[in-house]
Amino acid sequence: MEKRFKVSYFLNFLGVLAVFFLFVLLFENNAFGRSTQYIKGISTTACYTIIMVASLNLVVGCMGEFSLGHAGFVSVGAYASAIVSNGLTGKGLPDIALFLVALLAGGIAAGLTGVLVGIPALRLRGDYLAIVTIAFAEIIRVLFCNLSITGGGKTMSGIIKLSNFYWSFWIMVVCITVMYMYVRSRFGRTVKAIREDYIAASASGINVTYYKVLTFTVAAFFAGIGGGVYAHYMTAMIPTNFNFMYSAELLSEVIIGGIGSITGSIIGASFLSSLPEMMRQFSQYRMLAYSVVLVLVMIFKPGGIFGAWEFSLIRVYERLTGRKGGWEKSRKKTEGGV
């Protein structure tokens, strides 16, 4: 069983590597001519959006709670990381180290905010989280509009351009991997049990509030990292960027991709963040298009395009070679044996 998983991780890593080199090949050879730089930019946008959407999926899919203020955590991460990188510039740190320190700071700031929001909101049963998170994101926005360190309502500009596609890609891969491992471990199992039935979960010895707050914090942490990549890609931002519409966009990308599917979040975030970019001239219709897609998905595929399904290369491999997983085989054996 362990062996099959390890083979699976290795295959998936090879797959990621292949995708990466495909992009490198395309971009370095100017495959898209004059648009290459532009497409590279869109791909970077896709990378940080994937991080944000996947992190929101931890809350919505894995934990089964609605958060309508994810942009608030993105905002905290974006500003915290920008402040840290501004403060550390010129201290002789290499760019990548500066970037990683700034991102970590953004993630930790957002994670701590997640604890503060999560403890009161997640102790309550019902849909309080949706309301509390909306309020939280609004408070953050107003707060950042009034603090001088965040630009005092004006655009905070001059953030060092540290995000490029290659780094963003690998940061995204690391974030997705960590979240995936979280979901596929005792933590994810516990949180899913709480989602299914919190009374039965506590009667099974699970500290419901603890695991909910923990998961919410992990989600906020990665939203913060996403915000950090965003800030160092945009190099200028204003608190109103992270308004309710931004939270709603992230949430609709989760729902369209598939509630509970990280694969869905990746595909959903990639397409929905890059398509409107490509159709810039129609950008005012962006939310309209989102709504239409959302309604269509709700009608024809209520669980989202991918449902809770996850892509894995080992299954492709096993199907192609006609081999049943060694795992299923060994399971059969233990059954017969006892």
Q: Which residues bind another protein (CB under 8 A)?
A: 1-2, 5, 9, 177-178, 181-182, 185-187, 189-190, 192-193, 196-197, 199-208, 331, 334-335, 338
Output 9 or 309, the one with its CB closest to another protein.
9
**Closest approach of another protein to the CB of residue 313, in Å:** 17
**Residue 181 is encoded by which pair of tokens?**
């491992």
**Closest approach of another protein to the CB of residue 219, in Å:** 14
Output 166 or 180, the one with its CB closest to another protein.
180
Output 15 or 325, the one with its CB closest to another protein.
325
Give me the torsion for CA of 75, 81, 87, 91, rounded to 10°: -160
**Closest approach of another protein to the CB of residue 259, in Å:** 11
Question: Rounded distance, CA 324 to CA 311, Å?
Answer: 17
**Closest approach of another protein to the CB of residue 153, in Å:** 38
**Closest approach of another protein to the CB of residue 44, in Å:** 25
Output 239 or 264, the one with its CB closest to another protein.
264
**Closest approach of another protein to the CB of residue 195, in Å:** 8
**Residue 282 is encoded by which pair of tokens?**
């129609």
Question: Rounded distance, CA 308 to CA 257, Å?
Answer: 9
Output 193 or 248, the one with its CB closest to another protein.
193
CB 333: neighbour CB atoms within 10 A? 10
Q: What does DSSP assign to residue 62?
A: I
**Closest approach of another protein to the CB of residue 222, in Å:** 12
Output 127 or 197, the one with its CB closest to another protein.
197
Identity at 232, one-letter amino acid code = H
Output 230 or 306, the one with its CB closest to another protein.
306
Question: Rounded distance, CA 242 to CA 72, Å?
Answer: 7
Secondary structure percentages of the chain, helix, strand, coil, to 5? 80, 0, 20
**Residue 296 is encoded by which pair of tokens?**
């269509």
Strand pairing partners for 128? none
Using DSSP's 3-state secondary structure scheme, residue 47 falls into: helix
**Closest approach of another protein to the CB of residue 21, in Å:** 25
Question: Rounded distance, CA 210 to CA 181, Å?
Answer: 19
Question: Rounded distance, CA 225 to CA 172, Å?
Answer: 9
- CA-nearest of 144, 153, 171 to 228 is 171
Question: Rounded distance, CA 23 to CA 16, Å?
Answer: 11
